Chain A
Amino acid sequence: MSDKKQIYIRRRIEAVAGLLVLGLLLLVVRAVDLQWLQSERLSNLAEKQRYREYTALAPRGSIFDSKGRILAESVEIPSIAAMADEVPAERMGELASALGVSKKRVQRKLGKRTGFVWLARQVTPSVAERVMALNIPGVRKEKGWRRYHPLGPETGHLLGFVGIDGNGLEGVELAWDSSLTGESGLRQVRRDARGHSLPDGAWLREPVPGKPISLTIDATIQSIAYAALSEGVRSQNAKGGSVVVMRPKDGAILAMASWPGYNPNNFRHAKPSEWRNRAVTDVFEPGSTLKPFSVAAAIASGKWKADSIVYCEKGAMRVADYTIKDDHPEGWLDLTGVIVKSSNIGVAKLALDIGADPLHEMLRKAGFGQKSAIGLSGESPGIVLPLERWGPVETANIAFGQGIAVTPLQLAAAFSVLANGGMYVAPKLFADHLSTTEELNHRVIPAEVGRQVIEMLEYATTEDGTGSKAVPIGYRVAGKTGTAQKPNARGGYSRNKYNAVFAGFAPVENPELAIVVMVDEPQKSIYGGQVAAPVFRHVAESVLPYLGVAASGDLREGWQTVEAVGERPAFTADSLYGMSMREARFFAAQRGLRLHVHGSGWVSRQKPANALALNQGDALEVWLNE
Chain B
Amino acid sequence: MMSTWARPWVLVPVVAGVLSAGQIWASHLRYELSLENQQLNKERQETLKETSTLRLELANLTRPERLRKLAQEELGMGPPKPMQVVHP
Bound form: Cα–Cα A222–B65 in Å: 10
As a 0/1 sequence over residues 528 to 571 of chain A, the CB contacts with chain B under 8 angstroms (1 = contact) are 00000000000001101111111101001000000000000000
Task: Note all chain B residues with C-beta closer than 8 A to A220.
Answer: 64
| Contact between chains at A192 and B31 (CB < 8 Å) | yes
Report how far A402 CA is from B74 CA in the complex, Å.
48
Query: Residue A171 at the B interface, CB < 8 A?
Result: no
Complex contact B30–A198 (CB within 8 A): yes
A: interface residue count bin: 35 or more
Which residues of A sit under 8 angstroms from B83, Cβ to Cβ? Answer: 473-474, 551, 553, 556
Interface residues of A in 378-414 (CB under 8 A from B): none
Of B52, B59, B64, B80, the contact of A224 (CB 8 Å cutoff): B64
What's the least CB distance linking A299 to chain B, in Å?
A: 33
A552 to chain B: closest residue by CB: B82
B52-88 vs A, Cβ < 8 Å mask (1 yes, 0 no): 1101101110111100100000000001111101111
- Chain B residues contacting A69 (CB-CB under 8 Å) are 59, 62
- Known contacts A199-B37, A548-B88: A227-B56 contact under CB 8 Å: no
Contact (Cβ within 8 A) A150 B35 = no
- Taking a contact as CB atoms closer than 8 A, the residue among B34, B59, B68, B86 that contacts A150 in the complex is B59
B interface residues, how many (CB within 8 angstroms) = 29
B64 and A196 contacting across the interface, CB-CB below 8 Å: no
A227 and B65 in contact (CB under 8 A), knowing A150-B56, A550-B85, A550-B88?
Answer: yes
CA distance A59 to B35 in the complex (A): 26
A551 to B38, CA, bound (A): 60
What residues of B have a CB within 8 angstroms of the CB of A71 in the complex? 59
Q: B34 touches which one: A152, A196, A475 (CB < 8 A)?
A: A196
B44: chain A residues at CB < 8 Å are none
Residue A76 at the B interface, CB < 8 A?
yes
With A75-B49, A223-B68 known as contacts, the answer to whether A542 contacts B59 (CB < 8 A) is no
Q: Is the CB of B56 within 8 A of A148?
A: yes
Distance in angstroms from B45 CB to nearest chain A CB is: 8
CB contact list, A495-543 vs B, under 8 A:
541-542
B64 touches A547 (CB 8 A): no
Q: A150-B60, A196-B31, A223-B68 are in contact. Are A545 and B85 (CB under 8 A)?
A: yes
CB-CB nearest in chain A for B86: A550
Residue A580 interfacial (CB < 8 Å): no
Residue A74 is within 8 A (CB to CB) of chain B in the complex: yes
**Residues of chain A lying within 8 A (CB to CB) of residue B88:** 544-550
Q: Tell whether, in the assembled complex, residue A70 and residue B79 are in contact, meaning their CB atoms are under 8 Å apart.
A: no
Query: CB of A151 within 8 A of chain B?
Result: yes
Interface of B is mostly: helix
Closest Cβ–Cβ distance, residue B73 to chain A (whole Å): 14
B33 within 8 A of A: yes
Contact B79 A542 (CB under 8 A): yes
Residue of chain B at shortest CB distance from A548: B88
User: Once bound together, how far apart are the Cα atoms of A403 and B17, in whole Å?
Assistant: 98
When each residue 63-88 of chain A gets 1 if its CB lies under 8 Å from chain B and 0 otherwise, what string results?
A: 00000011101111000000000000
B52 and A199 form a contact (CB under 8 A)? no
**Chain B residues, Cβ within 8 Å of A73:** 52, 55-56, 59
A126→B32 CA distance, assembly (Å): 31
Q: Which residues of B contact A542 (CB under 8 A)?
A: 79
Asked if A219 CB lies within 8 Å of chain B CBs, one says yes
| Interface contact A223-B64, CB-CB below 8 Å | yes
CA gap between A310 and B51 in the complex, in Å: 66
| A222 partner residues in chain B, CB cutoff 8 A | 64
Known contacts A199-B33, A223-B65, A545-B88; A74/B52 CB under 8 A? yes
B60 contact set on A, CB distance < 8 A: 150
Contacts of B21-40 to chain A: CB distance below 8 A: 30-31, 33-35, 37-38
Docked CA distance A75–B59 (Å): 13
Chain B residues in 8 Å Cβ range of A75 = 49, 52-53, 56
Q: Quote the shortest CB–CB distance from B30 to chain A (angstroms).
A: 7
The answer for the CA separation of A545 and B86 in the assembled complex, in Å, is 9
The smallest beta-carbon distance between A357 and chain B, in angstroms, is 44
Complex Cα distance A147/B51, Å? 15
Contact partners of A199 in chain B: CB under 8 A: 30, 33-34, 37
Indicate which residue in B64, B82, B87 contacts A541 across the interface (CB closer than 8 Å): B82
Interface residues of A in 220-266 (CB under 8 A from B): 220, 222-224, 226-227
Interface residues of chain B, those whose CB is within 8 Å of chain A, are 30-31, 33-35, 37-38, 49, 52-53, 55-56, 58-60, 62-65, 68, 79-83, 85-88
Q: A75-B52, A148-B56, A197-B38 are in contact. List 13 more A-B contacts (CB 8 A).
A: A71-B59, A75-B56, A150-B60, A151-B64, A152-B63, A154-B65, A192-B31, A199-B37, A473-B81, A473-B82, A546-B88, A547-B88, A550-B88
